[in-house]
Amino acid sequence: MSRIEVEAVTVARGGRAIVNEVNLELEGGQLVALIGPNGAGKSTLLSVLAGLLRPDGGTARLDGTALPAFDRRELARVRAYLPQNPRAEWPVSVERLVALGLLPQLPAFGGLPEAMRARVATALEAADLTAHRDQPATTLSGGELARAMLARALVGDPAVLLVDEPLAGLDPRHALDGMIRLRALADQGKLVVASLHDLTLAARYATQVAVMSDGKLVASGPTAQTLTPALLRQVFEVEACVAGAGTATATVDFVPRSPL
């Protein structure tokens, strides 16, 4: 199983640390919900974990190797990264868009090899997109495109999956389906890290929670022990009711503070 170790990682922009001295250990078999308010540094940290952004300080290692030292093609085989609000810029078919997740093995021209077609077909079916396989990706709805991009990230069967707001734009059914799939991947021994704003889904499906605020990691650990009203009050500055964190029926509800 893969393992990511983050030691004192700092990323600065404009003289301000947007990720500040973060230490974190992640391993296969975990679905880690990365939570925190807007601007907390979650997306930046995910970019570091994906090997796309070199930190200004500290190190991030995948299976003992510093991420910047990886050959790009090899890294693409091992981990998949889905950024926030991905876009389809070209009118390729949905099938071809999903197949781009196999880019390290994909022929530059011509049709897909038969073995790859089977993997793409499976990914399309899991994302409820089989009926859209020949449709130009630029004509998909926002939710359909989000599902297609997640299918693209998963089709290569990566050992590490890093996803930034993968549920954005999804209706309740497909949001639930997405979280169930992410948890199933973790249960298979993969490492899944997902930035999430839906804390009820995080409470139900994540095995671990990592909480960021103002660029700092303020808490991390098993969901049941970490996702507490006191912590959410500290981070989000609202009162929270948390019931059954770490179970399939967990709920998180926010109550606005009374005006002073």
Q: What is the pLDDT of residue 73?
A: 84
Cβ contact 189:198 at 8 Å: no
Q: What is the pLDDT of residue 213?
A: 96
Q: What is the pLDDT of residue 80?
A: 93
What pLDDT digit, counting tens, does each position of 29-73 carry?
999 999 999 999 999 999 999 999 999 999 999 999 999 999 888
Q: What is the pLDDT of residue 26?
A: 97
What pLDDT digit, counting tens, does each position of 158-169 carry?
999 999 999 888
Q: What is the pLDDT of residue 104?
A: 65
Nearest to 220 by CA among 6, 43, 63, 34: 34
> Which segments in the chain show pLDDT lower than 70?
104-112, 257-260
Give 213's contacts (C-beta < 8 A, 6+ positions apart). Answer: 36, 37, 40, 234, 235
Q: Domain ranges in the chain?
A: 3-255
Q: What is the pLDDT of residue 24?
A: 97
Output the pTM of the full model: 0.91
Specify the fold of 3-255.
Rossmann fold (3.40.50)
Opening angle at CA 204, ends 31 and 128, nearest 5: 75
Q: What is the pLDDT of residue 107?
A: 57
